[in-house]
Amino acid sequence: MNSKISLCYDVNEDEWTLKKLSDSNICKFYQCSAAIALTSTEILITGGGSPPKKDSRIYLLQKNEMVNKQPMNESRNAHAITMCKGNVFVLGGFSGK
């Protein structure tokens, strides 16, 4: 599967669709990255890759584009991500160290 294609599951329709992303490098997804919905229209995607990356990007659903955000302090892949009290936590995974 091309890393510039996202799969979208519609819970109400019980249906999967494919969404092609922009061809720009900022839209590349790395293996073993993690993602979490920040709002109903924004998804935060962190880390991934080999070697692990510090990348932090927001996917804007309505515009079908990515925006770079502040990189993480440490590289991570195969990590968990969650939100609590307005803060995003990246937990576990591999830093490459």
Q: Is 91 or 24 the better-scoring residue by pLDDT?
A: 91
Determine how many CB atoms are found less than 10 A away from the CB of residue 82.
11
Q: Is 32 or 21 the better-scoring residue by pLDDT?
A: 32
Alpha carbons 83 and 77: distance in angstroms, whole number: 18
Contact call for residues 21 and 37 (beta carbons, < 8 A): no
Per-residue confidence band for 1, with pLDDT thresholds at 50, 70 and 90? very low
Residue 21 lies in a domain: no
pLDDT digits (tens, 9 = 90+) for 36-57: 999 999 999 999 988 999 999 9
| For residues 8-35, average pLDDT | 82
Buried/exposed 50-60: b ≥16 CB within 10 Å, e otherwise? eebbebbbbbe
Instruction: Give the position of tokens 């995974």.
Output: 93
Is the pLDDT at 15 greater than 90, yes or no? yes
pLDDT recorded at residue 3:
64
Residue 16 lies in a domain: no
Provide the pairing of β-strand 34-37 with 42-46. Answer: antiparallel
What pTM was estimated for this model as a whole? Answer: 0.84
Number of domains in the chain: 1
Residue 57 lies in a domain: yes
Residue 9 lies in a domain: no
Supply the range of the domain harboring residue 39: 26-91
Is the pLDDT at 2 greater than 50, yes or no? no
